[in-house]
Amino acid sequence: MKIVSLLVRVRPEQAAEVAARLVGIAGASLHGTTPDGGRLVVMLEDGEGYAVTDSILAVSVASGVLGTTLAYEYTDEEVTPDELATAMASSKKRHVQEMQA
């Protein structure tokens, strides 16, 4: 499971309209706004049939969104010791090859 929190910048006069649009995105929920209404805090969770990265992209390109900033990320996917060892060996090999080039 992955969870991210985004700070989404919008025009204050469009905040309610944009917020309504964003909660329609898979895995999205609104968790707050700034007093001026120009920033929204949006939480995204991955789920069946979609990834959190898809939802991040959907928020970023949604009409009325001026920009997004990743504020928080959490992943609870387990990595086995064998997977970790393989990844580290691959990284070390790539680093050695880059140093020799």
Residue 6, SS3 per DSSP:
strand
37 pLDDT exceeds 80?
A: yes
Edge-to-edge strand list for the sheet holding 65-75: 28-33, 39-45, 2-10, 65-75
Domains of the chain, CATH where assigned: 2-100 (3.30.70.920)
User: What is the pTM assigned to this prediction?
Assistant: 0.72
Confidence of residue 97 (pLDDT cuts 50, 70, 90): confident
Whose CA is closest to 27, among 51, 63, 62?
Answer: 51
Query: What gap in Å lies between CA 95 and CA 33, rounded to an integer?
Result: 44
84 pLDDT exceeds 70?
A: no
